[in-house]
């Protein structure tokens, strides 16, 4: 058997491939990225990029030592049989904050909005919508704690999703407070769970000492049952005055702007850097456990990485999961058309002339040519498969007269056009 791609990865395929689904179609990824670009850049976000691998220490300190990502899902980078302490990035935010600090972005006007898209890597148990290499669109804002920034970030996310045609989506919004609120909540959870230690999964026993809030995010059914039985109080009840006022203001803006959301008093994100506003975007067709997008505020992260303090907030969605949701909602991508002009020689000696005419036509149109001669009937069939708008035939008469015999594939209109007038003719027919 030929070599296969690694488990948990996908090829992005050309349109028309057998076994094509929306989440493996290269053009669909492009469509999502273009839509996100349009919405985010309209709001002033600048496109950036960071390396696909980073210091393991960055991810450990950024994402957090008690998270599944750091404990179980890191891809270590080996080279020359050694590893220099690098890992493939499991998410974008820690690397972007590093780039902020290293690049001196503090001098740029705040709030500074940036976005990136690219592959992320997590060695997860592979299942539908859960890959080892997946792709995120990531939006981050630096330099402001204003609740306006939080509300705008959520509004932009909703706008991207709407422009993509998604219907059954819900923003679940909560707050995980300031560090002291979290400490109080963790103390409460520790007291609550400790008498039931023997019923917790091994992972959650470990979470109880490191970061009890993580227990609420457990994938173990036994843990979830215990959580339900104990009637755990939500994080929102533990918010301090400042965090509560901030959260109320975020909600006020969203309501005022007509951005729909559901309050989720017990939101727990899968990464440790969050504080205050946190949210996820869910879709009925993809399953309650799989968020399409996660985001929140992370004001302490820069300091945690050893840098100067700078407040930050952002979100990232997984393009594959978004495409699964679009498929579930029956969203159709705009059909990409074939070449505007498809040139075919009627005899072998005119193939180079058809090629040359196509190359020149690329100055003003999307033009392709056939690499071998064909009879008109085959040329029309071939042009139809390629969804060409115009097919242009070049035989010995056309070659002698410097013309192309054009036929419109949809209307059947026919016209002999001198090569020198092709540009004007195609432009006119486009209007």
Binding residues for L-histidine: 91-93, 122, 136, 140, 269, 273-274
**Residue among 59, 291, 354, 383 that touches ligand HAM (CB under 6 A):** 291
**Beta carbon of residue 80, minimum distance to ligand HAM (angstroms, whole number):** 29
Give the span between the Cα atoms of 6 and 188, in whole angstroms. 43
The answer to whether the peptide bond before residue 198 is cis (omega within 30 degrees of 0) is: no
Contact pick of 88, 293, 343, 389 for ligand HAM (by CB under 6 A): 293
- Please enumerate, by residue number, every residue annotated as part of a binding site: 91-93, 122, 136, 140, 269, 273-274
Taking CA atoms, 210 is separated from 191, 204, 269, in Å, by 14, 9, 15
Among the listed residues 177, 212, 296, 311, the single contact to ligand HAM using CB under 6 A: 296
Please say which residue, 316 or 422, places its beta carbon nearer to ligand HAM.
316
SS (H, E, C) 55-81: EHHHHHHHHCCCCHHHHHCCCECCECC
**Least Å from the CB of residue 245 to ligand HAM:** 22
CB neighbours of residue 281 within 10 Å: 26
Stretch 315-334: interaction string toward ligand HAM, x if CB under 6 A: xxxx-xx-------------
Which residues, 6+ apart, have CB-to-CB distance to 289 below 8 Å?
219
Phi, psi of 251 (to 5 degrees): -65, -40
Angle at 356 between CA 352 and CA 360, to 5 degrees: 170
Site for ligand HAM, residues 27 to 56, rule: CB under 6 A: none
CA 318 remoteness from chain centre: 4
Residue 134 in the binding site for ligand HAM (CB under 6 A):
yes
Pick the closer one to ligand HAM by CB: 322 or 419.
322
In whole angstroms, the minimum distance from the beta carbon of 316 to ligand HAM comes to: 4
Work out whether 305 is an interface residue with ligand HAM (CB under 6 A): no
Maximum separation of any 2 CA atoms in the chain, in Å? 94
- Are 69 and 272 in contact by the 8 Å Cβ rule? The answer is no
Per CB under 6 A, the segment of 133-141, 154-162, 246-254, 300-308 that binds ligand HAM is 133-141
- Strand pairing category for 277-283 and 293-297: antiparallel
Looking at residues 253 to 282 of the shown chain, list those that interact with ligand HAM (rule: CB under 6 A).
270-271
d(CA 337, CA 331): 18
111: left (phi > 0), else alpha (psi -120 to 50), else beta? beta
Q: Contact between 130 and ligand HAM (CB under 6 A)?
A: yes
Site string for ligand HAM, 90-129 (x = CB under 6 A): -xxx----------------------------x-x----x
Size of the site for ligand HAM (CB under 6 A): 28
Q: Which residues bind ligand HAM (CB under 6 A)?
A: 91-93, 122, 124, 129-131, 134, 136, 138, 140, 270-271, 291-296, 298, 314-318, 320-321
């Amino acid at each position: 058997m030929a070599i296969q791609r690694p488990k948990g990865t996908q090829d992005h395929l050309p349109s028309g491939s057998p076994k094509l689904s929306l989440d493996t179609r290269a053009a669909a990824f492009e469509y999502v990225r273009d839509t996100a670009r349009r919405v985010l850049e309209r709001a002033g976000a600048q496109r950036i990029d960071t390396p696909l691998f980073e210091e393991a220490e960055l991810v450990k300190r950024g994402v957090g030592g008690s998270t599944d990502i750091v404990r179980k899902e890191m891809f270590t980078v080996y080279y020359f049989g050694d590893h220099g302490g690098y890992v493939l990035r499991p998410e974008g935010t820690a690397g972007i904050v590093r780039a902020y600090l290293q690049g001196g972005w503090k001098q740029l006007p705040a709030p500074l909005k940036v976005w990136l898209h690219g592959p992320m890597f997590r060695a997860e148990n592979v299942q539908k919508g859960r890959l080892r290499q997946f792709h995120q669109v990531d939006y981050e804002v630096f330099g402001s704690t204003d609740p306006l920034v939080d509300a705008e970030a959520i509004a932009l996310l909703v706008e991207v999703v709407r422009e993509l045609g998604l219907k059954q989506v819900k923003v679940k919004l909560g707050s995980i407070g300031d560090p002291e609120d979290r400490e109080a909540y963790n103390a409460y959870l520790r007291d609550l769970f400790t008498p039931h230690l023997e019923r917790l999964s091994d992972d959650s026993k470990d979470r109880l000492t490191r970061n009890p809030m993580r227990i609420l995010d457990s994938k173990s059914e036994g843990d979830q049952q215990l959580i339900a039985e104990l009637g755990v109080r939500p994080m929102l009840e533990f918010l301090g005055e400042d965090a509560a006022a901030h959260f109320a203001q975020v909600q006020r803006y969203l309501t005022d702007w007509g951005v729909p959301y559901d309050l989720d008093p017990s939101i727990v994100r899968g990464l440790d850097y969050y504080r205050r506003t946190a949210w996820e975007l869910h879709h009925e067709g993809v399953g309650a456990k799989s968020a399409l997008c996660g985001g929140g505020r992370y004001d302490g992260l820069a300091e945690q990485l050893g840098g100067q303090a700078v407040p930050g907030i952002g979100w990232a969605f997984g393009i594959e999961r978004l495409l699964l949701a679009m498929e579930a909602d029956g969203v159709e991508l705009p059909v990409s058309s074939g070449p505007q002009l498809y040139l075919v020689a009627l005899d072998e000696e005119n193939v180079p002339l058809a090629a040359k005419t196509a190359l020149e036509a690329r100055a003003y149109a999307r033009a392709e040519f056939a690499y071998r001669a064909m009879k008109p009937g085959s040329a029309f069939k071939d042009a139809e498969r390629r969804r060409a708008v115009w097919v242009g035939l070049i035989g010995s008469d056309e070659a002698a007269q410097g013309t192309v015999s054009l036929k419109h594939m949809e209307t059947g209109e026919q016209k002999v056009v001198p090569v020198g007038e092709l540009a004007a003719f195609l432009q006119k027919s486009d209007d």
